[in-house]
Structure 1
Amino acid sequence: MSNNAVWFPDNAYIESTRLFQWMKQLGFDDYDAFYEKSIQDIEWFWDEAVKTLGIEWYQPYSNTLNLSDGIKWPKWFGGGKSNVVYNAVEKWAESEKTRDQIALIWESDDGEVIRYSFGQLNEEIVKAAKGLLVEGIQKGDVISIYMPMIPETVIAMMAIAKIGAIFSPAFSGYGADAVATRINAANAKMLITADGFLRRGKQVSMKNEADRAVGLSPSIEKVIVVKRLNNEIPWQAGRDLSWEELIKKGQNKNGVKTLELESDEPLMLLYTSGTTGKPKGAVHTHTGFPLKAAFDAGLAMDVKQGDTLFWYTDMGWMMGPFLVYGGLINGASILLFEGTPDFPNPDRIWEVTSKHGATHLGISPTLIRSLMKHGEEWAHKHDLSKLHAIGSTGEPWNPEPWLWLFEKVGMKRIPIINYSGGTEISGGILGNVLVKPIGPITFNSPIPGMEVHVYDENGNPVIGEVGELVISKPWVGMTNGFWNEPERYEKSYWDRWPNTWVHGDWVIKDDDGFYTITGRSDDILNVAGKRLGPAELESILVEHPDVVEAGTIGVPDDVKGEVAICFAVLKGEDLDTVKIKNEAMELVAEKIGKALKPKEIFFVHDLPKTRNAKVMRRAIKAGFLNKDAGDLSSLENPHTVEAIRELGKEYYKQK
């Protein structure tokens, strides 16, 4: 037991959890022994997990795991036929006991509330699925989703899956170029979007950005538009179709059958930024991502039938689909919130949590850092007695906001489930299980079924020092490669050590078995929980006519956890740098969204480069943060690091 633990479950609490009850059923009363069994015999573990989650099959699987193609390409539940829509919605809608239970709650920015029972949600999914079939969507077609957090977003996801098509969601705050990049990578046939949404009491238009994205995406044949705001919007006859018209087109047709799909058939493509090049399309299957999400929510976070799961997120980030499948497969209600946590007042997130009786709330450290300054009094105005757990993901914590949330908001009663994994994981690698004590900012265990190690640079396990987070056995939910890029997938995760998934996080495991994530071991930026490849920012900056090249790093920030700092080389000496900086900032906001704008752009004479002309971001970052840059022998121009070091000193002096 760590000396740093601050939350301690008593025996009655432990015995009330789904995890403990399942362990007992399997003959375990000691968590550590159970965890060891979960990683020693992964076939047994996932077979039992499927049973305890109540997953139903059109055709039972004949073998749990086939590794004939090696650990990088596991085949799960061979011979089994399933469809996630049945396990998430239809089976609850078909039962008299659960048909009228609330499946989905939506609250708008201005306080409007809509609820759907499982029965009602199923009816809407059927209508949308019929409409998609009428529009010519077939099994295997890809549909991009560029939507705010509204009920139609979930209905669209489910309708697409029901007929065996594949959906690919993009962050609602992206600009047209970022959306188009993802549409083109997926070769999507259709885009589903909205006219706009409300944010902080103001209307945010989406259709204009969607139109620009489609203009850059030759594969798109149809654009379906949900009229959330009922505004006048540009309309292209023959291509654009309103959501209402889509629903009408399917209403008079015969019933639509939920397609019985092989276990490894793709469900969705989740695009995540890489350190170089275009985003990576993680391929997730009907019995991959949804089962891992449901397991982590149900067994690790104790989400039960009748609970209400509320995660403040966007469908373009991994936690959006996690919210949908993690909640619904467990028979819980899911709560979608269109607005922002501090509008119109700093208590909005607590007000929404209380009003809808959320049992589980998901937030990010960035959000809590921004709410701290307003004081805990805003949280105390609301009844949070139904709140059983607070989940946290997106980025590493620092102790002060964690303790503020635990002590001042949760009154030391509500456990904080620190949860870290990734888009390619389908959920968590590390977490806080509720049968063990929890400490500030740390993780008390790998998620069961995840064989986790911390390796030094030679591939040896280490305790008490920083190392690479690795996984040595496959798991349900592991990405089935990258869409049309199998070699890139293997290179991204499997190149460092044989048959070992290297995740890209620096981690310390202490003597008591607690884990702390210290940051990314690659160049990926993590801005307020949103992963961003530096190449995405750099490629936008060099579009400016006066910018020759650019380099981007992430540096710590008190509010967002990490922010982007950009360095640009200009084409001439006597240029208006203030004007260029403003134009470059606007260009980034326009292309990928205001939320991902850099904190600062510095103009430099040159960037640190290797002899083969590769910009060395590690050297930029070390210089700017005034840290030891390590071996710079491969640099062609080491003097550039000192120039950047001076900029960093000046930047932090002014803060």
Structure 2
Amino acid sequence: MEIPTAALIDCGLPEEEANQLVDLLGQIPVQSDVELWRFLAEEVLTPEIPFSIHQYLYQQVFEQRISHGEPAPAWIPGERERDGSHLAAWAADLKLDGFDAVYDWSISNREEFTTKLIDSLRIQFQKRPQKIMDLNAGVEQVDWLRDATLNIVESCLRDKSEETAILFQRTTDEVQRLSYRELRDLTAQVANGLTEAGIEPGERVAVMLPMTPESVAIFLGIIAAGCVVVTIADSFSAEEMQVRLKITTPQMIFIQDVITRNGRQLPLYAKLESLPELPAVVLSESESESLEVSLRESDQLWSEFLSTNSELTCVPRLPHDEATILFSSGTTGNPKGIPWDQTTPIKSAGDGYLHHDIHCGDVVCWPTNLGWMMGPWLVYASLINDASIALSDAVPTSRRFCEFVQNAGVNMLGLVPSIVSVWRSQDATAGLDWSQIKVFSSTGECSNSEDMLWLMSRAGYRPVIEYCGGTETGGGYITGTVMKPGVPGLFSCPALGFEWLLLNESGEATTNGEVFFVPPVIGLSTRLINRDHHEVYFADLSAGPQGQTLRRHGDQIEALPGGYFRAHGRVDDAMNLGGIKVSSVQIEELLTQTSGVREVAAIAVSPPGGGPGQLVIFVVMQDGVTFVSEELLQRMQQIIRSQLNPLFKIHAVREIELLPRTASNKVMRRKLRDLYQSEES
């Protein structure tokens, strides 16, 4: 491979090191681009080498693919993935060759697939099902695990005694450990405390807490008692919290006194001021029992609530009984209350097992909250797979959090792409050893390919499992696998057992269109708390090309060569510019490459007198970079002109300190439209 020394020097490598690297590259025998990159990633490119060198060599190796718009893999499965992954074991057991064959089997044999998944996860039953998948009521209302009784907590807390269930860090940098036995005991104290408080099985109990060992035990304890967890993100305002409590009418709430974010102490307990009728159990943010607030007469301390009885008896439940209620993002109107029943965790844990390849003893970290689906997902995907959960009170974008990832020995690190963007801009991982990471995963928003290449390089090139689904799916419908090469920012496969179609506005199959699910799939919601489930997901849909019953989802996905996929956000994030339909996410993906810009959001705004939509860009600038509206508009316009469509004209660029986001990290474009129109009026 011939690379000019000057090019490496221009990328930031000292001359002596550049000469050494050129000599090394010159000795590599001619081989395929994939094998050449594998050698560079495994033997040459360390995290200490400037990322600009990684990026330059990646572009040189895959120049032909990139110029033709073909996916260029930055990670290639090795022997460990081919022979040691859960999915490889499945393929061998089924006598099938490769991922695609296993996927085809999984959607052609859905009941057998679900049965094998339940067996692989060792789901515990108090009474085994007579039938795994009963379709007598149709695919909208599947009777999963008919005639069974179970409590999913028993599958989370199988007897693993002194093995680590949770690693956690708070206040100090010390990484502490909670064993499975200790977590089981604390879960029992919560469950028995609820019973002693008169809370009956089937009743709802709210949780508004950060992710801590206590909140995990509370989550499990409520379900163990046969009750239903109503999860509310701790970032919600008092008004948003009240909306969710009104929808679900819980009997009590677990809440913290305060929460500290970026050095600022923010109130949590105070949000209950207008709800005197709702009893609360209040935890202290500090490890001491001392609170930052005074309690109402109806409320009690965490230590007062806990039962002295640490014997765990899980109340038997039916498969379709509610276990958790989560909420959709709620960017329009009231949020949808979406129940997870006793079967939904099988989907979460199954994705962790088959796609994220979580093994017994692995350490799984995903900065999240119980109010977003990835919170319950993290609990189930870790504990049902006999792994450890890693929790830190550090801000996820901080150097301290990156150090925690190293010190806790994290093997599977999940995140949202905007976190990676900040890490990269601040070089937050410099000097850290992330070699223990086996898999990254990314969800919540569309990924930037350069950021994901950077992330892979921080751990000696490990794959990023892109992961996309929704609260109503219990997991992902499109994702990645360790059995196929990984391309930065792209999905490599549909989720096993999950069939879906890409259709255009005429209902015809296409390579870039709206996603429609083809049920049945375990984990899919079958009801909503405050909406008509059929109206939301099934009403007014024609049958699929082969007569299938289709379920509405609303994402836009593009199929690429080689079996890869790119997400283009929500179909309802589309805009019409000059009579041409384009996704706001598509514009944002392009404009994030603008130098000096950290984040971008694109909206279309109608002028006061009506007429065609005008393209407005909101930007979050990188630290220390001055916002100059006209200069930035011209640079962004050039990118759109050259890389998307010269007919798309930017009307205005506005600076904003932070993009408004939902609890699940989706950009709230409606708020940006309202903000812009209020400023212009």
Residue 255 of structure 1 and its aligned partner are, at CA, apart by 4.7
Do residues 451 (structure 1) and 451 (structure 2) align? no
Match of 2:149 in 1: 81
Match of 1:292 in 2: 347
**Superposed, which structure 2 residues align to 1:224-303 within 5 Å?**
224-229=281-286, 230-237=290-297, 239-247=298-306, 250-251=307-308, 255=311, 257-274=313-330, 276-288=332-344, 290-303=345-358
Match of 1:470 in 2: 516
Match of 2:578 in 1: none
Match of 2:127 in 1: 59
User: Aligned partners of 2:426, 2:534: CA distance in 1, in Å?
Assistant: 44
Match of 1:164 in 2: 226
**Superposed, which structure 2 residues align to 1:100-111 within 5 Å?**
100-111=162-173
**8 Å contact kept, 1:121–1:155:** yes
**8 Å contact kept, 1:391–1:418:** yes
Q: Secondary structure at the match of 1:82?
A: coil
**C-alpha offsets along residues 223-244 of structure 1, whole Å, 9 cap, x if unaligned?**
110122333313210x211111
**C-alpha offsets along residues 590-625 of structure 1, whole Å, 9 cap, x if unaligned?**
xxxxxxxxxxxxxx985859xxxxxxxxx75x5446
Match of 2:563 in 1: 513
Amino acid at match of 2:505: E
Match of 1:612 in 2: none
Do residues 389 (structure 1) and 391 (structure 2) align? no
Match of 1:46 in 2: 114
Do residues 223 (structure 1) and 284 (structure 2) align? no
Q: Secondary structure at the match of 1:29?
A: coil
Match of 1:651 in 2: 653
Instruction: Choose from 130, 143, 147 the match for 2:205.
Output: 143
Amino acid at match of 2:339: V
> Relative to 1, partners in 2 of residues 1:442 and 1:561: Cα closer, same or farther, differing over 3 Å?
farther
Residue 151 of structure 1 and its aligned partner are, at CA, apart by 1.4
> Relative to 1, partners in 2 of residues 1:88 and 1:496: Cα closer, same or farther, differing over 3 Å?
same
Residue 553 of structure 1 and its aligned partner are, at CA, apart by 12
Where does the alignment leave 5 or more consecutive residues of structure 2 unmatched?
1-33, 35-69, 544-548, 576-583, 619-646, 658-681
Instruction: Choose from 406, 417, 422 the match for 2:456.
Output: 406
> Relative to 1, partners in 2 of residues 1:355 and 1:447: Cα closer, same or farther, differing over 3 Å?
same
> Relative to 1, partners in 2 of residues 1:607 and 1:427: Cα closer, same or farther, differing over 3 Å?
farther
**8 Å contact kept, 2:489–2:566:** yes
User: Aligned partners of 1:309, 1:254: CA distance in 2, in Å?
Assistant: 26
Do residues 133 (structure 1) and 195 (structure 2) align? yes
> Relative to 1, partners in 2 of residues 1:563 and 1:139: Cα closer, same or farther, differing over 3 Å?
farther
**C-alpha offsets along residues 199-236 of structure 1, whole Å, 9 cap, x if unaligned?**
33443321112334x35xx6x3x111012233331321
Residue 123 of structure 1 and its aligned partner are, at CA, apart by 0.5
> Relative to 1, partners in 2 of residues 1:113 and 1:198: Cα closer, same or farther, differing over 3 Å?
farther
**C-alpha offsets along residues 498-529 of structure 1, whole Å, 9 cap, x if unaligned?**
4212211111112322111111112599xxxx
Match of 2:92 in 1: 24
Match of 2:535 in 1: 490
Name which of structure 1's ranges 353-362 and 474-483 shifts more when overlaid on structure 2: 474-483
**Superposed, which structure 2 residues align to 1:458-607 within 5 Å?**
458-463=506-511, 466-485=512-531, 487-488=532-533, 490-492=535-537, 494-498=539-543, 499-523=549-573, 556=588, 558=592, 563=601, 606=608
> Relative to 1, partners in 2 of residues 1:520 and 1:314: Cα closer, same or farther, differing over 3 Å?
same
> Relative to 1, partners in 2 of residues 1:307 and 1:12: Cα closer, same or farther, differing over 3 Å?
closer
**8 Å contact kept, 1:309–1:358:** yes
Do residues 369 (structure 1) and 426 (structure 2) align? no
Instruction: Choose from 318, 330, 333 the match for 2:373.
Output: 318
Residue 436 of structure 1 and its aligned partner are, at CA, apart by 0.7
Q: Secondary structure at the match of 1:103?
A: strand
**8 Å contact kept, 1:273–1:524:** no
Residue 491 of structure 1 and its aligned partner are, at CA, apart by 2.3
User: Aligned partners of 2:195, 2:171: CA distance in 1, in Å?
Assistant: 33
Residue 112 of structure 1 and its aligned partner are, at CA, apart by 5.0
Match of 1:427 in 2: 475
User: Aligned partners of 2:484, 2:385: CA distance in 1, in Å?
Assistant: 23
User: Aligned partners of 2:208, 2:655: CA distance in 1, in Å?
Assistant: 41
Do residues 304 (structure 1) and 304 (structure 2) align? no
Q: TM-score, normalised by structure 1?
A: 0.77
**C-alpha offsets along residues 138-166 of structure 1, whole Å, 9 cap, x if unaligned?**
11111111111221111111110011110
Q: Secondary structure at the match of 2:255?
A: strand
Match of 2:410 in 1: 358
Amino acid at match of 1:233: V
Residue 136 of structure 1 and its aligned partner are, at CA, apart by 1.3
**8 Å contact kept, 1:554–1:564:** no
**C-alpha offsets along residues 371-398 of structure 1, whole Å, 9 cap, x if unaligned?**
21123xx424222121101111111112
Residue 80 of structure 1 and its aligned partner are, at CA, apart by 1.2
> Relative to 1, partners in 2 of residues 1:399 and 1:44: Cα closer, same or farther, differing over 3 Å?
same
User: Aligned partners of 1:109, 1:460: CA distance in 2, in Å?
Assistant: 55
Instruction: Choose from 367, 389, 394 the match for 1:334.
Output: 389
**8 Å contact kept, 2:207–2:230:** yes
**C-alpha offsets along residues 321-350 of structure 1, whole Å, 9 cap, x if unaligned?**
11111000000000112220344xxx2232
> Relative to 1, partners in 2 of residues 1:654 and 1:125: Cα closer, same or farther, differing over 3 Å?
closer
Instruction: Choose from 181, 189, 207 the match for 1:119.
Output: 181
User: Aligned partners of 1:206, 1:653: CA distance in 2, in Å?
Assistant: 30
User: Aligned partners of 2:382, 2:516: CA distance in 1, in Å?
Assistant: 28
Amino acid at match of 2:162: D
**8 Å contact kept, 1:82–1:287:** no
Residue 456 of structure 1 and its aligned partner are, at CA, apart by 1.1
**8 Å contact kept, 2:602–2:617:** no
> Relative to 1, partners in 2 of residues 1:392 and 1:254: Cα closer, same or farther, differing over 3 Å?
closer
User: Aligned partners of 1:387, 1:350: CA distance in 2, in Å?
Assistant: 12
Q: Secondary structure at the match of 1:483?
A: coil
**8 Å contact kept, 2:98–2:483:** no
User: Aligned partners of 2:138, 2:364: CA distance in 1, in Å?
Assistant: 36
Amino acid at match of 1:13: E
User: Aligned partners of 2:465, 2:585: CA distance in 1, in Å?
Assistant: 29
> Relative to 1, partners in 2 of residues 1:607 and 1:101: Cα closer, same or farther, differing over 3 Å?
farther
**8 Å contact kept, 1:163–1:258:** yes
> Relative to 1, partners in 2 of residues 1:653 and 1:302: Cα closer, same or farther, differing over 3 Å?
closer
Amino acid at match of 1:374: Q
User: Aligned partners of 2:462, 2:503: CA distance in 1, in Å?
Assistant: 33
**8 Å contact kept, 2:257–2:268:** yes
Residue 171 of structure 1 and its aligned partner are, at CA, apart by 1.0
**C-alpha offsets along residues 393-427 of structure 1, whole Å, 9 cap, x if unaligned?**
111112221222223x233x211111111111111
User: Aligned partners of 2:600, 2:334: CA distance in 1, in Å?
Assistant: 22
Residue 481 of structure 1 and its aligned partner are, at CA, apart by 1.5
Residue 441 of structure 1 and its aligned partner are, at CA, apart by 1.1
Match of 1:71 in 2: 139
**C-alpha offsets along residues 289-327 of structure 1, whole Å, 9 cap, x if unaligned?**
x11111111111110110000001122111111111100
> Relative to 1, partners in 2 of residues 1:653 and 1:207: Cα closer, same or farther, differing over 3 Å?
closer
**8 Å contact kept, 1:128–1:155:** yes
Amino acid at match of 2:426: H
